[in-house]
Amino acid sequence: MFKVKKAVREEIFGDDREFDSPHAPTVLPLKNNDVLAAWFGGRFEKDPDTAIWTAKRLNGVWQKPKKTVDVMNIAAWNPVLFRLNNDRIILYFKLGPEIPKWHTEYVYSDDEGKTWSSPKELVKGDIGGRGPVKNKPIYLSDNKTILAPASLEGDSWNSFADISDDNGETWEMSEFVPIRRINPNERRIRDRVYNKTFCFGKGIIQPTIWEDDENIVHMLFRSTSSRIFKSDSYDMGRTWNLAYDTGLPNNNSGIDAVKLPNGTLVLAYNPRENIPGMTKGARTPIILSYSDDNGSSWKELYILENCDGAFAYPSIVCDGNDKIYVVYSENREKIIFWNIEYEETVN
């Protein structure tokens, strides 16, 4: 049996913050049991003053946030932290006035986040956003290939994996994940027999990714269809099967998952469907569920929040064999951090 042994909730900063509207956090374990978090913050999402902020948790105490990336008069969005296998820390982020026109840049640190490089474009000439869009990349089992869960958001939403075989120096797009879009206003849909490959609305974005023990790669997606969708790849992320409904509810808000060293999957999400007639839903509660069968079924693990408010855009990572870290935004006013110890018990 898999269960939470201990869970501690913390606020990364107080009311004396130097920014408004913090959102879309990301988290990364550091050495010596320290933690690094990042998020975007400004007057409001897409405002030109929006920058990327970071904070460290040293010896169990969160330090004052620092403005880490600030490109004058251009909004910064959706930071993603990732550690390369040479120990370099990468901080990816989006830049641009609107989502369809944004592009991806990154900075790096070789001293555990003490100092950062100047920003650099991830893929030259990118418009729309290459590389990780919200959630962390992974190394495949060859410990060489990086897969970054990616998506493009325009009139339709499309997801893919960005692939690097040279530790992030160059990237190649996979094929788009195939999706069967259905117009939610189509009258005759009432007469159709439900099919788990039907996706109502724009589509799927912001994947979270893992590789299983048989070297099959899987992605889960936020969707406009009131469900978390899934797709699978049998060729190291280069092509994907038709996306399908997992049965897990989704409110068209961000999700994230992590594969633990024991193979268990843990998913952070809002278990809510869309409001009838709309393509979005309430962002509460926010919970953790786990799967011990490679994502075929899920069981509730822990309720992080279950009150009025908006608890959104979780990021989840594991630290060693017994810890999970989760971050998310609360009402776009706070960034919440959970330090969770877990254990397996024999019935």
Residue 88 exposed, middle or buried by CB count within 10 Å (0-12, 13-18, 19+) = middle
Give the pLDDT confidence score for residue 265 in this predicted structure: 98
Instruction: Give pLDDT tens digits along the chain (347 positions).
Output: 899 999 999 999 999 999 999 999 999 999 999 999 999 999 999 999 999 999 999 999 999 999 999 998 999 999 999 999 999 999 999 999 999 999 999 999 999 999 999 999 999 999 999 999 999 999 999 999 999 999 999 999 999 999 999 999 999 999 999 999 987 666 444 555 678 999 999 999 999 999 999 999 999 999 999 999 999 999 999 999 999 999 999 999 999 999 999 999 999 999 999 998 888 999 999 999 999 999 999 999 999 999 999 999 999 999 988 999 999 999 999 999 999 999 987 66
Q: Give the whole-angstrom CA distance, residue 260 versus residue 320.
A: 9
Structure confidence at residue 120 (pLDDT): 98
DSSP structure class, residue 327: E
Domain ranges of the chain: 2-184+194-344
Residue with tokens 């406009």: 224
The pLDDT score that the predictor gives to residue 188 is 46
The Cα 227–Cα 72 span in angstroms is 38
* Structure-token pair, residue 18: 């130097």
> In a 10 Å sphere around its CB, with 0-12 CB exposed, 13-18 middle and 19+ buried, how is residue 7 labelled?
middle
CA–CA distance, 29 with 23 (Å, rounded to integer):
19
pLDDT at 187: 45
Q: What is the pLDDT of residue 278?
A: 85
Enter the pTM of the model. Answer: 0.96
Q: Which CATH code for domain 2-184+194-344?
A: 2.120.10.10
CB 36 within 8 A of CB 52: no
Q: Which amino acid is at 172?
A: E
Q: How many CB atoms lie within 10 A of CB 150?
A: 29
Dihedral, 270, 272, 276, 277 alpha carbons, nearest 10: 30
Which two three-digit tokens encode residue 150?
């990616």
- Nearest-CA neighbor of 228 among 164, 297, 137? 297
CA 68, 71, 73, 76 torsion-angle sign: negative
12's CB contacts (< 8 A; 6+ apart) are: 25, 37, 55, 57, 62, 65, 327, 334, 335, 336, 337
CA distances from 300 to 19, 89, 267, 271, 288 (A): 34, 32, 9, 10, 6
Let me know: does 146 contact 137? Beta carbons within 8 Å.
yes
8 A C-beta contact, residue 317 and residue 136: yes
Cβ neighbors of 102 (< 8 A, separation 6 or more) are 77, 94, 95, 96, 128, 129
What Cα–Cα distance (Å) separates residue 103 from each residue in 49, 78, 99, 150, 314?
Answer: 17, 11, 9, 12, 22
Query: What does DSSP assign to residue 259?
Result: E
